[in-house]
Structure formats: C-alpha cells, structure tokens
Amino acid sequence: MAATRNVMRAVRVFEFGGPEVLKLQSDVVIPDPKGNQVLIKVHACGVNPVETYIRSGSYARKPALPYTPGSDVAGVIEGVGEHVTAFKKGDRVFTTGTVSGGYAEYALAAADRVFPLSDKLDFKQGAAIGIPYWTAYRALFQKGRAKAGESVLVHGASGGVGIAACQIARACGLKVLGTAGTEEGMNMILRNGAHQAFNHREANYIDKIKECTGMKGVDIIIEMLSNVNLAADLQLLAHAGRVMVVGCRGPVEINPRDTMSKESSIIGVSLFLATEEERQECAAALLDGIAAGWLKPSVGSEYPLERVVKAHEDIINSSGARGKMVLLP
C-alpha cells in the first residue's frame, strides 16, 4: 500500500441519532486495499438523503457501529489489492459504493463499484454520479419502462436524482417536464434537459402541468416526495401511466379508484434491490452518456468535511436545491 500517511481525517458515527452524531476525527487509520479492493484518495463525496436516514437509525439497513457514511466518491487511486488489474495508482475514478465510507480523506472500495472518471468531468461532478444517476436510470427504464416519445414529469427535478432524470430522459427522447421550489431551481432544470419547468410551491402548478399536456396527462412521473404528491400524481397521469415512487418520507392517503379509471400503476423503486446485471446495464448506459457528453452532473452546495453536520441538516430541510450536494475533504 502506497499511502503517504497512515492516518486520515474521516467522519465517524458511534451511535445512531441526529446530525450531531457525525464526528470528524483526525486519527482514523487509512485502510489497506486487499484482494479486489482499491484505495482512493477522495477529492469529493456526494451527500445523499439516504445517508441521513441511515445515520438516524430509522432506516431498514443499519451498518455496524462505528461507521463512516458515504458511497459516492470521486478521486484518484492510491493503491490496489493484489487481484485488481482494471485500475492503477494515479487513475481518476468515481464509485457507486465504498467499503470503508466516503466522508473521509481516503476510501476503500470494491473494484466492481469503481469506474474511470472521464477528463470531461471534475471530481465534484464525479461525486454526483453514483446513487443519483443509477437511481434515475433504474426508475425510468428498469422499473418505469420509459420509451422515446413518452412524456415524463420529474417531480422534484432540482436535486441530485432529479437533474440526473432530466438529463437521461431528454437524451433518450422523452418529453421532459420538471418541478423545483425556486426560480433558480427552475432555470437549472431547463438548462439540464427539461422542456418545461414548474414551481411545486405555487398553488395551481398541477393545473399548469395538466394544461401543458393538452389535458392528456403524463406517461411517467418520477416522484421525489410521494407522501406529499401521490394523490395528485394519480390525477396527472395519462392512460396506462406510471408513478415511480423514488422518494417518500411518510404515509399518504390516496383513492385507489384513481388507478382504475386509467389503468395506471404505482411502482416502488429501490436502487439497493438492483441485481448485478441491472447495475451493469446502468453503468454501460451512463458511461456512454458521459462519453457522448449528455451526462454532466450539476453540482450545488459544497461543504468542507468540517461542516458535515450542517450538510446533513441542510439536505433534509432544503429551502431550494440547486443540483447535487457534495462534501470536500
């Protein structure tokens, strides 16, 4: 192992709880890559809402304590295990998962969760790809069966998954409508693939979306806040339309009859349940997107590692997303 220091700064969680349980420590031992693992010098790490649910202890999947959060890092290979042939020291990479946690100066990752980072993208953009783009692709195609020529409403398009969904859907020939909670967010959506943007904090925005479809409704909704929007979504769907439940933070009341009148479907999406084959399908499509130039993550708020507590507070209580939130070690 060729790391120049044997300790690093890393965020550690010793007990589940509020954002204050995230502790930045400066004496965490840098792990050694073994077998099929690589060690990455982290330049940026994406912050995903799921990391706040896991930290709180309310999530179904709980890591053993203590742990370091973070799965989506971008950086440079520092060392490789004895079985790794695909990467070498100095390669620019991004990940879709880590072994030791990404909120740190170095992260260990299994080589099959590591991808080359194109020169077209900087490290912050690299850290914005993992969970958001894999989820958006899965929601649109693997679960939503989206086809060119269909219409999609990305309901909550200004954040990590939303921007990804807009870019992918536009590149694949869908008509893309998106929502954001601010003027700045709406403009950002329009620059990232949406044909039209709406403000989900405006009283009559649902009517405006319906009018925009000629009262026909949309074929697919990628829903980031189902507990608020699911009942209205069922009204917004076209015949045989599908709501993809990507984000949900609580219960909601719906009238199931609304699905009968259009033979519409409500479909749950879970990136964690993707098979290895499905993950590879996502990777192939998304790496093609980077090469073609349409996959270009939009980075929003940036936080140094010292402000990780604030980052976790802000991602949940956002007053207006502006792309992907990243941590910088």
Minimum separation from the CB atom of position 34 to ligand NAP (A): 29
Burial (CB count <10 Å: 0-12, 13-18, 19+), residue 167 = buried
Distance CA 225, CA 255 (A): 17
Minimum separation from the CB atom of position 272 to ligand NAP (A): 6
The site for ligand NAP (CB under 6 A) is made up of 48-50, 131-132, 135, 155-162, 179-182, 185, 200, 224-225, 228-229, 246-247, 269-271, 315, 318, 320-321
Which of residues 6 and 319 has its CB atom nearest to ligand NAP in the complex? 319
Which of residues 79 and 160 has its CB atom nearest to ligand NAP in the complex? 160
What distances in angstroms separate CA 234 from CA 29, 100, 117, 259, 262, one per listed residue?
51, 41, 39, 7, 9
Which of residues 76 and 267 has its CB atom nearest to ligand NAP in the complex? 267
Examine residue 66 and say whether the peptide bond preceding it is cis (omega within 30 degrees of 0): yes
Minimum separation from the CB atom of position 77 to ligand NAP (A): 26
Burial (CB count <10 Å: 0-12, 13-18, 19+), residue 183 = exposed
Which of residues 93 and 189 has its CB atom nearest to ligand NAP in the complex? 189
Instruction: Please say whether the beta carbons of 176 and 294 come within 8 A.
Output: no
Residues in a beta bridge with 109: 38
Which of residues 28 and 326 has its CB atom nearest to ligand NAP in the complex? 326
Which of residues 38 and 228 has its CB atom nearest to ligand NAP in the complex? 228
Minimum separation from the CB atom of position 309 to ligand NAP (A): 16
Minimum separation from the CB atom of position 143 to ligand NAP (A): 10
Closest CB to ligand NAP belongs to which residue?
159
Minimum separation from the CB atom of position 201 to ligand NAP (A): 7
Minimum separation from the CB atom of position 139 to ligand NAP (A): 8
Minimum separation from the CB atom of position 130 to ligand NAP (A): 10
Enumerate long-range contacts of 209-217, CB under 8 Å, 24 or more apart.
Answer: 209/153, 209/177, 209/179, 209/236, 210/235, 210/236, 212/177, 213/151, 213/177, 213/238, 217/241, 217/262
Which of residues 24 and 189 has its CB atom nearest to ligand NAP in the complex? 189
Instruction: Please say whether the beta carbons of 114 and 40 come within 8 A.
Output: yes
Which of residues 107 and 189 has its CB atom nearest to ligand NAP in the complex? 189
Which of residues 33 and 156 has its CB atom nearest to ligand NAP in the complex? 156
Distance CA 185, CA 44 (A): 23
Residue that the structure tokens 């910088």 belong to: 328
- CA 108, chain centre distance (Å): 20
Around 44, how many Cα atoms within 13 Å sit in the side-chain half-sphere?
26
Distance CA 46, CA 69 (A): 10
Rounded (5°) CA angle 35-75-270: 75
Minimum separation from the CB atom of position 28 to ligand NAP (A): 26
